[in-house]
Structure formats: structure tokens, C-alpha cells
């Protein structure tokens, strides 16, 4: 049942899409900032001192806005990860925690214990929102 959520993009596809769109929006902000810098240098009706002030404002504004939007995207990913970790911790607690994991371990003949079912390591193959965007999902 859990694998179906992972394969379809996770439990919160709208939040993941919002995070991805925020990253694309940050790229748009950087491009608009470059345009504003170019306009300030070459097309602004002002003397060179005023043009440099406009360029400084465009650089600072672009940086602050882009970092703010990227921080928003990272906050969304952080909240999804916190929910996932809480869910996995609750499932581990329901299964008996460390005692249940130790009881489910069995030898594989080489002296190394292997947990039956894979435990938390089986969940490691989830793809990130960025990877899903790049793969076209």
C-alpha cells in the first residue's frame, strides 16, 4: 500500500508540485533580475551614478526574493519529510520498536543479521521532488 504512494509521487503531490513551481519561480525571479540590471545599466533615463544605484537595488532585490522563494520551497520539503519521518517512527513503534526489529532479524549464513522485510532501508529508494521534475513525472 505504501509503495503505491511512493510510485505516484508521494503522499502530498500538490505540496510537492508547489515546491517545484516555487523553484521554477525562483529561476524566473533571477531572469527578471538580470533584465532589471540590464535595463538599469543601458535604458534607464538617469546619469551613471543613479544607474549604479538602480543596479545595486536590482541585485539586492533579486537576491532577497530568490532566496525567499527557495526558502519557501525548502520549507515545504521539510514539512513533508517531517511528516514522513513521524509516520515511519510511528510504524516502528507500533511494530515493537527495536525489540521487534531484533526479533525479526535472522541469520543469512554469513554471520550477518538481515532484517526481514527491509525495515527503514527499504524506504530509502524514494525520489525527491527535483528528481521527479527532471524525469517528467
CA torsion angle 90 93 94 98 (round to 10) = 140
Lowest mean pLDDT: which of 2-16, 25-39, 92-106?
Answer: 92-106
- Counting residues of the chain whose pLDDT is more than 70, the rounded percentage is 62
Question: 100 near 93, Cβ under 8 Å?
Answer: no
The DSSP bridge partners found for residue 114 are 106
Tens digits of residue pLDDT in 36-50: 999 999 988 989 999
Tell me the mean pLDDT in the region 6-28: 84
Tens digits of residue pLDDT in 64-107: 999 999 999 999 999 988 988 888 888 877 776 555 444 444 55
Q: Which domain holds residue 35?
A: 22-92
Query: Is 72 inside any structural domain?
Result: yes
Contacts of 61 (CB under 8 A, 6+ apart): 33, 36
Query: Is 71 inside any structural domain?
Result: yes
Here the cell at position 100 is: 521487534
pLDDT of residue 104: 47
Q: What is the number of domains present in the chain?
A: 1
Query: Is 26 inside any structural domain?
Result: yes
Residue 58 has pLDDT above 90, yes or no: yes
Query: Is 50 inside any structural domain?
Result: yes
Amino acid at each position: 500500500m505504501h509503495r503505491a504512494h511512493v510510485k505516484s509521487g508521494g503522499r502530498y503531490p500538490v505540496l510537492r508540485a508547489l515546491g517545484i513551481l516555487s523553484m521554477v519561480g525562483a529561476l524566473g525571479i533571477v531572469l527578471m533580475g538580470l533584465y532589471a540590471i540590464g535595463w538599469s545599466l543601458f535604458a534607464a533615463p538617469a546619469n551613471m551614478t543613479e544607474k549604479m544605484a538602480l543596479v545595486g537595488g536590482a541585485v539586492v532585490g533579486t537576491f532577497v526574493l530568490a532566496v525567499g522563494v527557495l526558502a519557501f520551497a525548502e520549507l515545504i520539503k521539510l514539512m513533508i519529510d517531517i511528516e514522513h519521518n513521524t509516520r515511519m517512527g510511528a510504524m516502528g513503534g507500533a511494530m515493537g520498536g527495536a525489540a521487534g526489529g531484533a526479533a525479526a532479524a535472522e541469520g543469512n549464513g554469513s554471520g550477518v543479521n538481515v532484517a526481514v522485510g527491509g525495515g527503514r532501508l527499504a524506504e530509502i529508494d524514494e525520489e525527491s521532488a527535483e528528481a521527479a521534475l527532471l524525469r517528467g513525472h
